[in-house]
Structure 1
Amino acid sequence: MNPSSPATGHAQPQAPHTSVTWYESTARQRIDGLLDAGTFTEFLGPQQRETSPHLAMFDLPTQFDDGMIVGSGRLDGKPVFVAAQEGQFMGGAFGEVHGAKLTGLLRASRDIRSIPVLLLFDTGGVRLQEANAGELAVAEIMRAVYEARLAGVPVIGLIGGRAGCFGGGGLIAACCSALAVSEQGRIGVSGPEVIETNRGIEEFDSRDRALIWRTMGGKHRWLIGGADRFVDDSIAHFRDAALELLTTHSAAGEHTLQQEQFRLEQRIDLFGECADALDVWRLMGARSPASLPELDYTSFMELGSRIRNACHDAR
């Protein structure tokens, strides 16, 4: 039973169990920890058996929710829609059913206009076995994100899973109202192996883990403005960030797109000649850029906030 407020006698949202790490959790564990306890209602759950129509042709196993969990619940007592990718099923990759579930949820938010959406990304991109259907799904999702935002609905992305947020996921994340990312939350359009395959090891060595994390990891993405909040790797921190971003997000419109375009042009002007994230951090004012990846959350936030703010003021 939920406790009641002594002032009103009304039931208060029960605090979820949020002590486990986001990175190690499954999609369902993230939802359970993020939302108020006992408030999640799943749409098209495993009992509906909405599996991929394509994977069987390749003799690949299916999953009854197709790696995408969608539904509604409450966050601090307020209604939200939530979609979470299961990175442990096919790397959270987009396929026909996977994408259709997310598109449907976003279109519902567009039509209702009053319920925000939380997207819990954990994806390596599009399934090769469903390439055409997956690419089409990504395009439909991007359109649905902007339709929801133009209807006044905030769409908040949370990134910190094992698969990261690559391929079409990286494009969708860039369309969101705001993003919260942990150090583990790598973001990119092309993954390390894809870059190396197409451009050569001289361009990007996919075996160099330090290079991958400082180039695509959450610290770098937040420092250069690619994410709005940097959080510690806990469900509690992601919950706090989601609550904050839902109240501080910017409404979408032509002015929003113009601001984003200007910010990206500035980034290219400032850092376009940099060969490594270390060069970027040095230009931003970090005296010892090589030490940033080793800093714990608290130390990094103290230093990173000063660097980020100083760089922003200089613009």
Structure 2
Amino acid sequence: MGVFTGKTLMITGGTGSFGNAVLNRFLQTDIGEIRIFSRDEKKQDDMRHEYQAKMPEVAEKIQFYIGDVRDLQSCKTVMHGVDYIFHAAALKQVPSCEFFPMEAVKTNIIGTDNVLTAAIEEGVEAVICLSTDKAAYPINSMGKSKSLEESVAIAKSRYSGKTKICCTRYGNVMCSRGSVIPLWIDQIKAGNSITVTEPSMTRFIMSLEEAIDLVLFAFEYGNNGDLLIMKAPACTIQTQAEAVCELFGGKKEDIKVIGIRHGEKMYETLLTNEECAKAVDMGNFYRVPADNRGLNYDKYFKEGDEERNTLTEFNSNNTKRLNLEETKAKIASLSYIQEELEKMNSK
């Protein structure tokens, strides 16, 4: 992996879907050590046994640390000797955060501040913070807390010394823990109708592999304080539900509409109009540099500011819209889906 050769990578919230995907991508490379930092000892124990069974020759590269990003000392304890951090620890379920917003504040905002404070003090080379499209024009507690996470990261980058801090922002990661496709598969297997909140909603869709690609792009090409965004396609919730029905033998005519949940948007935004003023189009990605003007605003009234560029808001309504066959193909390419289809066909 070149730059990762012999290095120590730490993943906060490492027992989640993203952490597992990183392990599957990195473990059999020449990386030195991967630290899994999280607060759930049961998930850590399950992960330990899983990788000892399926990758015994490299499983010793994984080191597990019980701790909580909400606790600064906990972060400092695990940080010694770490070269790079992928900060994935988060509360990300929209309804849960809506009912318990202070819990989202503690993990997503204070937790990020703790991780970055410890990383800067320890001289970690780079920290990539994972954010979400819900942080752009946020209307729910999860999105608001992730928006402030981004603000914390950008503010910290202004005095982070040798530590590079970048954020990545991406849309719905298909088949990640707590996402809707596994729920629909379970509903179909149980012989029930699958439930959708609002059929005409649009959502960006991407795979866990693409989420890792975005983080690695930020790691390689991002400058300190940057926000990196991948140009993901989107589809309607109805199209996504129909695609899952076709793959798993569900009845499209029985799709049940249950109404919008707490804090849900009709469409999501990855790049706001305001961010477009400074954004750089990098082909498959956008890079939004940090605004590093000082607090002395008086001089900007005297000197003015440079002309904004011509990019416009990038959202799930104006990105490439996948049709049913394209959506089905994208979903079918996921290893999780292939494993579930194999289980179903073997019965």
Per the shorter chain, which TM-score range? 0.3 to 0.5
TM-score w.r.t. the length of structure 1 is: 0.38
Answer with 1 or 2: which has the greater Rg: 2
Q: Which has the higher strand share?
A: 2
